[in-house]
Every structure is written in structure tokens, then in C-alpha cells.
Amino acid sequence: MNPPARKVLIVDDDPVSLKVLLHLLKSVDYQVERAMSGNDAWKVLKDFSPDLILLDILMPDIDGYELCRELKNNSMYRHIPVIFITSANKTDEIVKGFDAGAVDYITKPINKAEILARVGTHLELKHSRDQITDTNRDLLQEVENRRQAEEKFKALSETAFEAVLFLKDGLVIEANKAAYNLFGLQENKNEFHKIDTFVDLSGKKLLDKITKHADNGIWELEFYRNDKSRFYGLIQHQHFQYKNEMINVLAIRDITKQKEHEKDILNAILETQENERKRFSKDLHDGLGALLSTLKIYVGLLQKENKGYDEKQDLLAEMKSTIKQAIDSTRSIANNLMPSILTEYGFIRALKSFADAMNKTESVKIEFSYPERLQRLDNNTETHIYRIVLELINNTLKHAGAGNIFIKVYSKDNHLFIDYKDDGKGFDFQDAYTKRGGGQGLKNIFSRINFLNGKGTYFMKDDFLHFHMEIPVRKV
């Protein structure tokens, strides 16, 4: 049990995230304060001295990067470790966080076990660092700084989730337990030798570039374990002074599951596209194709000389009727591919039209609220938003057994927000999303959200299944 003296400050403008984090951290007896903006954080810091700060990146006044830089430039607060909370998985965003002074990052949606483990690790590291500082306060500053750096780095490498390797001239001179586990080696029995024995030729070239020429950064690389099985590693590199000489330090995180997840998303997109092609082909063959074949027969009959005037008039009437059906069929096919109301009037009008049509069927009641004067977005963004909401409705109709659907669209600070909820039976999001052979609709939704650099969250509240989506938008 962690002592109550361990203090954590949460800075996040999302009430849902704040509520979840407060519940998790208070459940293990941490003393927790919260702030919903950077300005609020500075006010809290006047009376509250945290041991750790959990910091959201996107906030209304100043973003998390700027607040972190300000903390690190302030002698009173630079010693407080900062962990970023972010929904981004982009390497450049993560690097930007580390450059701002963060010690770690946690991605949304929040995983209970991960956040408790990471918060506990960094609190222990800070506690150990504070004890070291107090104990050796009277030592010479240069010696103290060097010893603290070595102790801190070694403690971090041993308690880190990532594999940490100390390299000199390509040879592994030290490795933590996580590194042995990741590469399938047994501590004290198997020894690391040259790191390039665990990569192919292209990997050797990249490692050589990283260790000999590159500055601190992050790369992806495919590695081989001791049993020759493969995994993808996300490498963080930095030069470090260790035992009076400069060495290379590699921190390697196994991202094989993440790569597989990205592959699943791509497969889901390709499968959706293929299904659309099949449906389009069927509509053309069974609908428009049959009508055109009928027209061909009528033309052949008109060309026969034995047809009288009245018969020809009847054939012409049939041809006009068939041509009208062909035009209607073509419009229907085109509308299914891209509704004309979407391209001409925007996604709000298109969704309202769809909701009105669904309400007339009385199979479900859709309540759709939106600002009367919402500016148009670029066509690509509007198309993705329209498809996301239709996929949400489709999932509700197929699986939830809901009688009511509520959709609310609103905007603030160059962000578009969509709140969607239904009164159906709900589902286990994680189970549905990761289930092999299933969850394609969910994967389509989140692949589109990721494409728009947005974030989406499922949660249950008041017996309703909620989905909240936030997307940065560029108005036209």
C-alpha cells in the first residue's frame, strides 16, 4: 500500500478522464489534486506540492507541451516528474513530449493496470532520488551529479517496462531484466554480445547509423529473439556518460501487437472497400444491367418491319418507363456511393435526412441535435464524419436492440464534438474490438477517427451506451 504522502496532480480538461484517474489513484491511497487547465495548475501548485504530475497534451489555454516546458524551466518544480496522457500514437508527438521534459507517456483509453504501474514506478524513482539527494547533500557537486545520474539511470533501466541496453562499440556491456526477457535470454546464463546479431543486414545498417551518427531520437526496427522468432521494437536512443566514458543507451519497447493492430485496421478498410465493390457490382448487374438488357430487346422489336403503329407506340411507352427506371436506379446507386445531399449541403443535412428517413420506419427513434449555423468543413472530413455516424447507427440496429438513439453535434475551439448514445443492451468494447474475425465496424470507426487525428471513447453511463468523439477541424 502506497503511503498517503505520495501526492499526484492531474491536469486534464476532460471531465471523464479526470473522474477515471481520480478514482484509480485514490483507490490506492494517493493524495490527488486536479486542474482542468494550465492556468488552474499553477494555482493548485501554490498550495499543493505534488510528487508526480499527470499532464494531458490538449488543453484550452496552454497545451501540455508548453506547461511541461514552463515547469522544467522553474527551479521550484523542475524536479517533479511529468507523465503525459495522450490519445496520439504518432512517434513525432511522443518525441515532442520527451523533448519538453516528460519522463513517460500513457495513451488513452486509460488502462488501469498500466497507469498504476507507471505512476508507482515513477513515484518510487522520485522517492529514491529524493532520498539520495538528502543523504549526499554535502558531497562535492560534480561528484554528486555524476553519481545521481548513474544511479537514476540504472534504477530507471531496471524498473522500466522497456528493454534497456548499454552499448559500447556495438557490444552490449549491460542490460536490464526486461532486455533478457524480450530477447528470450536467461539472465546469468546467456550473455548479450554484439547487438547486431539480433537484426538482419538492413537492421545492422540502421543500428550503425543510430549509434555512430544519430542524435537522440526514436526509430522502429525488426529484431530476432534467441529462438529466431521476430518482433518489432520501438527504439529510443541517447548518448550517456557512464563510468567516465560516453556510451549508447537503447530503450526498446515491443510494439509487435501494435503493428498487428495496424494491420487489422488496414484489413478492415480493405474488406469494407471490397464489400462496397461487390454491392456496387450487384446493383449494376441486377438492377441497371437488367433494365438495359430490356431496352435492348425493345429496340430490336422496334426495328422489325411487321410491327404496326399501335404496337410501336406501346413499345415506345415501355421504353420510356424502362429508361425512367434506369435513371432512378442510377440515382439510387450514386446516392448509396455518395449521397448528393452530403456533397451539396454537408454532413449535418445528410445526417438529418437519414435520421428523418429512419424515424419514418418506426424501427428506432433518432433524436438529432446540432447548431443551426455550423460552418461547412472540407469534403473529406465531412465524408468521414458521415460514415462514422452511420456505422454507429448500423451497429446499434444490428446488435443493441435499442429503441432510441441520441446524437448531439457541437463545436468549440476549432474542434468538432459528437456525443452518441443509445438505450440498447451495450457491449464489452475491449472484447468486441480485439475479437478475431469480429469488430470490423468498430475498427472502421477508429481507423477513420485516427485518420482525422481525432479521438473517440466508449463508456456506459446511466444505463446508456455512450460514444464521445472529438476531431480537430479545418473550416472552409
Residue 408 confidence (pLDDT)? 95
448, 428 Cβ separation under 8 angstroms: no
Residue 368 confidence (pLDDT)? 94
Measure the CA–CA gap between 28 and 22, rounded to whole angstroms. 10
Residue 33 confidence (pLDDT)? 92
**Bridge partner residues of 417 (DSSP):** 410, 470
Strands 171-175 and 163-168: antiparallel
Strands 404-412 and 415-422: antiparallel
Residue 52 confidence (pLDDT)? 92
**Bridge partner residues of 56 (DSSP):** 85
Burial of 86 (0-12, 13-18, 19+ CB in 10 A): buried
Measure the CA–CA gap between 262 and 265, rounded to whole angstroms. 5
CATH number corresponding to 7-135: 3.40.50.2300
Question: CA triplet 20, 22, 23: central angle to 5 degrees?
Answer: 65
Q: 152: Cβ–Cβ under 8 A, 6 or more apart, which residues?
A: 125, 129
- In what helix (H) or strand (E) does residue 117 lie, and over which residues does it extend? helix 112-135
Q: Is CATH 3.40.50.1370 what the domain over 144-254 is classified as, yes or no?
A: no
Residue 147 confidence (pLDDT)? 65
337, 376 Cβ separation under 8 angstroms: no
Measure the CA–CA gap between 108 and 231, rounded to whole angstroms. 24
Measure the CA–CA gap between 272 and 442, rounded to whole angstroms. 12
If DSSP states are collapsed to H, E and C, what string results for 428-473? Answer: CHHHHHHCCCCCHHHHHHHHHHHHCCCEEEEEEECCEEEEEEEEEC
- Supply the DSSP symbol for 36: S
Give the architecture (CATH level 2) of 340-472.
Answer: 2-Layer Sandwich (3.30)
Residue 141 confidence (pLDDT)? 65
Q: Rounded to two decimals, what is the model's pTM?
A: 0.37
pLDDT tens across the length of the chain (476 residues)? 445 568 999 999 888 888 989 999 988 888 999 999 989 999 999 999 899 999 988 888 888 899 999 999 998 998 899 998 887 667 777 788 889 888 888 888 888 888 899 888 988 888 888 777 777 665 656 666 666 656 665 665 555 568 888 888 888 888 888 888 888 887 766 667 788 889 888 888 888 888 877 666 678 889 989 888 999 988 888 887 777 788 888 888 888 887 777 666 556 655 655 566 566 666 665 566 666 766 777 677 777 767 677 777 777 777 787 777 777 666 555 555 556 667 778 888 888 888 887 888 787 899 999 988 888 888 888 888 988 998 888 888 888 888 899 999 999 888 999 999 999 887 777 776 666 555 667 877 888 888 888 999 888 888 788 899 999 986 65
Closest CA to 218 of 100, 96, 87: 96
Q: Which residue has the cell 542490460?
A: 175
- In what helix (H) or strand (E) does residue 164 lie, and over which residues does it extend? strand 163-168
Cis amide leading into 109 (omega within 30) = yes
How many helices, marked H, and strands, marked E, lie in the chain?
A: 16, 15
